[in-house]
């Protein structure tokens, strides 16, 4: 694997080494040694998630204020615009966001460290995400920041005049200015 881009003081855009041949392809989607060498940390991933979403679905911006989760995100079908927002007050990139196209075709992964909010917009007919997390799901600690918060001003690649499909929970996300953050 190689790091394609460092972003926001800790987020990483990662590209795996893909072995193609006449049968198809093979790649290591996660290797603890390689990830530790690239990220400088050996992380205890404790949960694997899998979600499927239709075109223009936007999930996020989510985070757990306690038991913050680091997330290693990849797409196995379709394509998404994947976004991480730095919520660490001590970070020089506090309140900044980074967005990357992850797809089954490019096989890229986004490492979203604990301390960030995460969300994505589906830009294909459907998309399936797999992601590993470094802590367990704890809904009581989950917080949601509005995907269209004017202060964050995330440039989601939504088709002209199209509103995203969001859950009831995501429809009432907090303003960034009012959302709890990390030290």
Ligand X SMILES: Cc1cn([C@H]2C[C@H](O)[C@@H](COP(=O)(O)OP(=O)(O)O[C@H]3O[C@H](C)C(=O)[C@H](O)[C@H]3O)O2)c(=O)[nH]c1=O
Distance of closest approach, residue 118 Cβ to ligand X, in angstroms: 4
| Cα distance between residue 99 and residue 83, in whole Å | 4
Q: Which is nearer to ligand X, 59 or 100 (CB)?
A: 59
Of the residues 63, 100, 118, 131, only one is catalytic, namely 131
The contacts of residue 6 (CB under 8 Å, 6+ apart) are 12
How do 2-7 and 58-64 pair as beta strands?
unpaired
User: Residue 141's closest CA among 45, 89, 68?
Assistant: 68
104 SS3 class: coil
Site residues, ligand X (CB under 6 A): 49, 51, 59-60, 62, 71, 118-120, 137, 167
Nearer to ligand X, 28 or 48 (CB): 48
62 is catalytic: yes
| CB 71 to ligand X: min, Å | 6
CB neighbours of residue 100 within 10 Å: 20
Least Å distance, CB 167 to ligand X, is 5
Nearer to ligand X, 16 or 119 (CB): 119
Q: Among the options 6, 30, 62, 137, which is catalytic?
A: 62
Residue 57 · residue 122 · CB < 8 Å: yes
Catalytic residue status for 131: yes
Q: Which residue is nearest to ligand X (CB)?
A: 137
Active site residues: 62, 131
């Amino acid at each position: 694997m190689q790091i394609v881009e460092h972003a926001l003081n800790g987020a990483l855009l990662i590209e795996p080494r893909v072995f193609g041949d006449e049968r198809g392809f093979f790649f290591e989607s996660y290797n603890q040694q390689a990830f530790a060498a690239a990220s400088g940390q050996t992380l205890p991933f404790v949960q694997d998630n899998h979600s499927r979403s239709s075109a223009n679905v936007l999930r996020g911006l989510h985070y757990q204020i306690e038991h913050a989760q680091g997330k290693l995100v990849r797409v196995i079908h379709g394509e998404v615009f994947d976004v991480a927002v730095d919520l660490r007050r001590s970070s020089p990139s506090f309140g900044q966001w980074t967005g990357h196209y992850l797809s089954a075709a490019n096989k890229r992964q986004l490492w979203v460290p604990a301390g960030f909010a995460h969300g994505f917009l589906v830009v294909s007919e459907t998309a399936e995400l797999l992601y590993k997390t470094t802590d367990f799901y704890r809904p009581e600690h989950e917080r949601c920041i509005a995907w269209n918060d004017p202060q964050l001003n995330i440039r989601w690649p939504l088709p002209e005049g199209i509103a995203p499909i969001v859950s009831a929970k995501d429809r009432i996300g907090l303003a960034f200015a009012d959302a709890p953050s990390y030290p």
